Chains A and B, each alone.
Chain A
């Protein structure tokens, strides 16, 4: 057995546990590479989620549009980004949402990392 290194705060590594848990959710988000599928989802969200077999936690997370809830439900950010894209959200929008900041506050945090 390998021992796990200490958890990195505010970070969930997308490992085998998450990959198993989030498979249906990620598979649905992967389908959003196609414009046709994005349109189908927007037309009937509930039907689309049923088609991909999302569980109750995953469906609630999709309805909530909350990235932290989607991650907790096993979502992987590379696929979730395609879901966020449907609503025109960029990575600064989802960064702000996850850190409880406004977008300008989040942008200021990024600029602070540059030391200016």
Chain B
């Protein structure tokens, strides 16, 4: 059976793409952010996953309001990046793993998560930035299975529902008849708000509690409603759902996790950025 080796959480911000392109990693503005990544890169170089399942939210590249799935799973052989409107350099295509995609889809639907399946799927900075941050050199060495969670249009799935979905994804990985090593990634957050008079809202206290909870009390965030989470973390801070799904998946691998590394920095763009590396114990 496949081995679920661990999980990573990271923020995704369009401007990261521009910073990488321009080589600004050691620029004073960017340094505290990029300096968080080498320990994560080293862990990945040692652990060597073959495939990653990425929980992310699309930002209006692949999905528009004409058809807006709550949960969508990629089942494509290749995922193309494309212009998101801001002139971020477009990255080369990423390899999919269709065997794992369909195993995840079958398992989720068996478990009453009636997902949308996508044999073609454009992937935006929420997929490309984590991969580029974790594997900065050369071609991306892992195949991917994207799992998109709607954060664009309310109502959003509850934190408890996202947790249960993430757990089912973890069980799918564990029951996959393959000798491959799999990691899970949560891409989004942490607290931030782009829109409205409340733009610029950041909640360090909540982020810190949330990051701590991921290590030892993974269900902690499921006590909150979506409305409460938006109030505590901002309209885009709700992207922490991606981290929650990632952590829930790990519960299928082991009863506890070991925190390998973490980083937290305010602000990049107008976001509190976070990074965590959790190894299945």
Please list the residues of chain A having a beta carbon within 8 angstroms of any beta carbon in chain B. Answer: 5, 8-16, 19, 23, 26-27, 29-30, 32-35, 38, 67-68, 71, 76-82, 85-86, 90-92, 94-95, 98-99, 106-107, 109-111, 113-115
Chain B residues near A86: list those with CB within 8 A. 85
A30 to B199, Cβ gap below 8 A? no
B83, B202, B203, B230: the one within 8 Å of A11 (CB): B230
The answer for the CA separation of A90 and B17 in the assembled complex, in Å, is 13
Within 8 Å of chain A (Cβ to Cβ): is B87? yes
Contacts of B59 in A (CB 8 A): 78, 81
Q: CB distance B196 to A68 under 8 Å?
A: yes
Evaluate contact between B155 and A90: CB separation under 8 angstroms: no
CA distance A72 to B145 in the complex (A): 37
Contact B202 A82 (CB under 8 A): no
Cα–Cα distance between A46 and B249 once the two chains are bound (Å): 49
CB contact list, B30-86 vs A, under 8 A = 59-61, 64-66, 82-86
Contact B153 A76 (CB under 8 A): yes
B155 to chain A, nearest CB (A): 7
Q: Provide the B82-119 mask, 1 if CB < 8 A to any CB of A, else 0.
A: 11111100000000000000000000000000000000
Of B3-11, B173-181, B264-272, the one touching chain A? B264-272
Q: Is the CB–CB distance between B154 and A81 below 8 Å?
A: no
Most buried by A among B196, B227, B235: B196
- In the complex, are the beta carbons of A82 and B204 less than 8 A apart? no
Q: Are B202 and A110 in contact (CB under 8 A)?
A: yes
> How far does the Cβ of A27 sit from chain B's closest Cβ, in whole Å?
7
Within 8 Å by CB of A94, from B86, B194, B203, B266, lies B194
Asked if A94 meets B199 with Cβ closer than 8 Å, knowing A15-B153, A19-B153, A33-B60, the reply is: yes
Given contacts A15-B153, A19-B65, A27-B65, contact A34 B83 (CB under 8 A): yes
Contact partners of A82 in chain B: CB under 8 A: 60, 84-86
What are 24 of the A-B contact pairs (CB < 8 Å)?
Answer: A9-B197, A10-B197, A10-B199, A12-B196, A14-B153, A15-B153, A16-B154, A23-B65, A26-B64, A27-B66, A29-B60, A30-B65, A71-B196, A77-B236, A81-B194, A85-B86, A98-B195, A99-B197, A99-B199, A110-B200, A113-B204, A113-B272, A114-B202, A114-B272
Do A8 and B231 touch (CB < 8 A)? yes
Interface on chain A toward B: helix, strand, loop, or mixed SS? helix
Binding site for A on B (CB under 8 A): 15, 59-61, 64-66, 82-87, 152-155, 193-200, 202-204, 225, 227, 230-231, 235-236, 265-267, 269-270, 272
Q: Is the CB of A5 within 8 A of B235?
A: no
A114 to B59, CA, bound (A): 26
Is A11 a contact partner of B193 (Cβ separation < 8 A)? yes
State whether A78 touches B152 (Cβ < 8 A).
yes
Contact: A110 with B266, CB < 8 Å?
A: yes
Residue of B59, B153, B230 contacting most chain A CB atoms (<10 Å): B153
Seed contacts A23-B65, A77-B236; 11 additional CB < 8 Å A-B pairs: A9-B198, A10-B198, A11-B196, A16-B154, A76-B60, A76-B153, A80-B195, A82-B60, A109-B200, A114-B265, A114-B266
Inter-chain CA distance A2–B42, complex, in Å, is 49
Instruction: List, in ascending order, chain B residues with CB within 8 A of A14's CB.
Output: 152-154
In angstroms, Cα B232 to Cα A8, docked, is 10
State how many angstroms separate the Cβ of B120 from the closest Cβ of chain A.
15
